[in-house]
Amino acid sequence: SSNRLSPDFVRGIAAAVTGIREISLNEQSRVISFASAESDDVRINVYYTTRTIGTALAHPYQGATQLFRRNCTTEELKNIFENP
């Protein structure tokens, strides 16, 4: 469908945000992953065909917590990159 994102489109949005780096692309799972440039404590997984974004935050006591947002708009994706 036309709602799908492409990895290159997601990369373009990430490139406009400072402090984010790409760490992996899994075409089988259709997920492109990013991390904070300063640390690996923050991971952002973008499931580009479904516009689902998972943010995983490494919590010092509770371990990693992951939050999923579904059907994200381009604006929401940009906002999550800026403030995961």
Gap between the Cα atoms of 28 and 50, Å rounded? 14
CB neighbours (10 Å) of residue 43?
A: 19
| 22-77 pLDDT per residue, tens | 999 999 999 999 998 887 788 999 999 999 999 998 777 777 788 999 999 999 99
Rounded to the nearest angstrom, the gap between the alpha carbon of residue 56 and the centroid of all alpha carbons in its chain is 9
Closest CA to 31 of 50, 15, 12, 18: 50
pTM of the entire structure? Answer: 0.87
- In which band, very low, low, confident or very high, does the pLDDT at 2 lie, cut at 50, 70 and 90? low
- Cβ-based neighbours of 45, under 8 Å, separated by 6 or more: 31, 32, 33, 53, 54, 55, 56
